[in-house]
Structure 1
Amino acid sequence: MHQEETQQTVVSFIKVLTAERRDPYAWGDMFPSCHPFLEEHHSPINLDHQMIRNESLGPLHLEGFDAIQTGHWTLKNDGHSVILQVGSGMSVSGGGLPDVYHTIQLHFHWGGPATNGSEHTVDRRRYPMEMHIVNMKSIHPNLTAALDDPTGLAVLGFFIDVVYAENLHFGHISQKLSSVAYKGQTTKVKPFPLMSLLPKHNMSQYYRYYGSLTTPPCSRVVVWTLYEVPIYISWSQLAQFTSQIFSTEEDAEQVTPLQNNFRHIHPTFSRIVSVSKDAKLLSGTAGSSLSSAVLLHLLQILLLGCLISEL
């Protein structure tokens, strides 16, 4: 498939995804597979300690993520998110994935000035943001074909947390946000090593499950890989998303901030959520029990001290 045809397919796919997404619970009116009562195998989900360690899940192979790709990338406000279309040159494989997947774009989900907005949650905790790197199975000529394959897409999800220091690498994107403040606006981005955005020393720590797109048409075709260690950005970089991006066009009579663009949590049902061999979350179960035991012991000492003082 020629690169121009691939880009046209991506654009058409994005147009589908941007239709009628203001209320996730109403998506089913236009996209039957998004219906809120068809819960099985949907995304996002909550990640908790009811997961199974899989010793065969090692780090994924991220081909081209360390390189500076040729040409240019495009950053776009589609009215629901900010999307970075990265063109060709990168792929994802290994780590239990069933095939090689070509990287096509990444995008973000966030909350508001005073609310968190990651799509997936960890022990019911929602992070400030979440970044998704979308990859299409290499055997498919376009995204339309990939949406007919139960494992047609592989999405790498990264939680984004906040610290006081600026993330210089994240600046490749955040410094361009003012150019795509309004729906429909696009700007060129000079390619940079995508790995510079990621927690490169913790890429073997992740969770894996099978689910769906979190936007219409909500197709259940995604192999999800959610990384345990978040990306850290500054408060000011977060504010650029939560306060300075709009879901309406620049000449709209009333401009609307683009906020809380995440889908509600869905039950896991009978799905297995796997933990990679190096992930740390499951070890927290023992830590939690230990903490409870220590607190109980301290409480017993305190009560005993009170009894002795009254004698």
Structure 2
Amino acid sequence: MSELVTGEAVALELRPARLPSRALAVLLDLIVAFTVYIGISIGLAAATASLDDAAQIALTIAAFLLVLVGAPIAVETLSHGRSLGKMACGLRVVRDDGGPIRFRHALVRGALGVVEILMTFGVVACIASLVSARGRRLGDVFAGTLVVRERVPVGPARFVPPPPPWLAGRFAGLDLSAVPDALWLGVRQYLTRMQQLDPQVSWAMAVQLAGDLAARTGTPAPPDIPPAAYLAAVVQERQAREARRAFAGQVPPSPGVTDAYAPPAPGAPPAAAPVPAPVPAPLPAPLPVPSPAPAPAPSAVPVVPPAAAAERPATGFVPPA
């Protein structure tokens, strides 16, 4: 594993490609290039049969440079570091800082590749790759590039056990700003693998990590808490802080509602004082409403017998007696 540092001071863990995979990728590229070169040479020989020997030699050299030098440079530039052989082997050419290569990087690699690979049959490239700590040949050294593996086997994600419920929020006041990322990584790796360790070894590692974490935070670990539970609780507190920091201000305010306690935006004019709403005038007292006159008693309505009601037509009217 190679740790590269980008311009933003971000560490990248990349796996450099070793000599066997790189040699296989170069071999595939050469097979394709020589196949194309032989086909073009046969076509040129048939098309330039009427020319003199000097013109045929010039066209042969031009075809050689175009197919075996110019074509790989163009392919790596357009594909951002992936030729046919590298795509088949899962490799890619990147800069030293992990970024994609450009034309100048591909040009330097291709120009030195003629000497390293074609003229010496790959002997110089193999020796340079074996000597280099990251398997780089001379073209990579002068171009500032690195061939890395893109298809890395990914193992199953390991679960970090949560702390006991009675430790939730107990370490909310710890200062975690001085804890380095390497220590966080060590604590996380221990928590994911502590069930696989010997109990005595696991306890010793937990005590050591808890001591390092307490020294970085400036607060000693509580003696009544097991060191593994202390580590899990502090990791959970860090994750909670990161989540609050990441999702802070994600919910937009309601339209027309402003926060009176929010600081003004830089350069914004001062907000005008709110104008109080006018107080409505009191309504006059309601006038007395006269009570309604008593309704006349309803007249007696003859009750229709059930037999007549059954003979009632669909119109709803009562038939005469």
Which structure has the larger Rg? Answer: 2
Relative to the length of structure 2, the TM-score reads 0.17
Higher RCO (CA < 8 A, seq sep 6+):
1
